Amino acid sequence: MNSSFYLKYFNNIKSIIDDFDLKKIGKFKKLIISTAKQNKKILIFGNGGSAATASHFAVDMTKNAGIRCLTLNEYDLITCFANDFGYEKWVEKSIEYYADKGDLVIFLSCSGNSMNIVNGCKYSIKKGLKVVTLTGIQKNNKVNKLKSNLNFWVNSKNYNIIEISHFIILLSLIDDIILSKKTK
């Protein structure tokens, strides 16, 4: 076993967590709560591992926190929309068909340059939806350049570390919301 690898790896994650902007996470929570209070929903999108994170978040937010949250990463929808509109447009088209005024849309993209996510984000902003993005790799990525309500950028070039960081932010929000409801 290469203990030095793991020590360095875990210290890297710890350093990233230590750099989380807690005030910004608090603003994210307020966006989620205000969305729920307006009887609106959350849509969350990602590719690959980020799609798995999106699914996990959507299920836990709905079941455990009691706030409606959907991810539209069903293969039949993706392949239909990708076939009919192009892969780079499937997220945008999903939002066009499923989002309502006042909804919150969350986008996960390690690179911030996946065109399906970029186009979905642009469309959501244009339609006046609330938008939160979580990215990594380069700070000046395409998603970060857009005018979202909030952006969380992870200072790493390692996809797994970026995805872990996004996962921690998202699931900590769920736990905070659950705890807030219990203490009322």
Q: Each residue of 152-163: pLDDT tens digit?
A: 999 999 999 999
pLDDT of amino acid 147 = 87
Token code pair at residue 24: 């910004």
Q: Which helix (H) or strand (E) holds 107?
A: strand 104-109
Contact 153, 20 (CB under 8 A): no
Decide: residue 23, CB within 10 A, 0-12 exposed, 13-18 middle, 19+ buried.
exposed
Please give the residue range of the domain that contains residue 103. 3-182
CA-based end-to-end distance of the chain: 47
Q: Each residue of 72-126: pLDDT tens digit?
A: 988 999 999 999 999 999 999 999 999 999 999 999 999 999 999 999 999 999 9
Edge to edge, what strands does the sheet with 130-135 contain?
69-70, 42-45, 104-109, 130-135, 150-153
Token code pair at residue 125: 């902003």
Q: How many CA atoms lie within 13 A of 21 on its CB side?
A: 12
Could you tell me the pLDDT band of residue 7, with boundaries at 50, 70 and 90? very high
Using the predicted structure, report yes or no on whether residue 184 has a pLDDT greater than 70.
no
Report the C-alpha gap between 39 and 147 in whole angstroms: 24
Q: Each residue of 14-65: pLDDT tens digit?
A: 999 999 999 999 999 999 999 999 999 999 999 999 999 999 999 999 999 9
| Number of structural domains the chain divides into | 1
Could you tell me the pLDDT band of residue 181, with boundaries at 50, 70 and 90? confident
CATH code: domain of residue 25: 3.40.50.10490
Report the C-alpha gap between 175 and 112 in whole angstroms: 26
